[in-house]
Amino acid sequence: MAAVQRPSQEEAEAAVRTLLRWAGENPDREGLLDTPKRVAKSYKELFAGYEENPEDILGTTFEEVGGYDDLVLVKDINFHSHCEHHMVPIIGKAHVAYLPDGEVVGLSKIARTVEVFARRLQTQENITAQIANSIQTILKPRGVAVLLEAEHMCMAMRGIRKQGSSTITTTFTGEFRDNVNEQVRFMSLIRAS
């Protein structure tokens, strides 16, 4: 990703003040005096994924796995992201599996990889592919399966205003892509209680 020249804290706060005025508010009102500072701080946290690299997260693996080479699944990883079109939340769950090829990664690293990409402006299709491709490229397992199910506030809060609808996206690599039985097993495991 190309480096972007970031505005200063003061420029970010001025932009928030402008948006408050544009929305019809008075940024000098008592309740809004610290809002520009809070919003800038919040954005730094919400979009921290731009400061992180999945290679740093997935780079440490373990080879002492007792010969284990079957599916590793981390399911129900809660995440929130922001739609790159409207900058409103996407809220959902990620289910990520891989078939190790001699080594495994710490389970929390899978959830952290989801977070890296979730904490960027995204489309659901893109985040799904980014998670799968990073794990495949860095860990080099026999295959990766990723399923995201999420509600998009750009559909729930504005536009068509359909609350409760969810979108499901999947990406399969390697044996998951080539073997429908592995896909079925993945789907069955994530649907199991």
* Residues with active-site annotation: 83-86, 124, 152, 154
Tell which residue, 120, 148, 108, has the closest CA to residue 46: 120
DSSP letters along 148-184, please?
A: EEEEEHHHHTSTT--TT--EEEEEEEHHHHH-HHHHH
H/E stretch holding 122? strand 121-122
> What residue type is 63 in one-letter code?
E
Report whether 77 contacts 95 (CB < 8 A): yes
How far, in Å, CA of 27 to CA of 39, rounded? Answer: 13
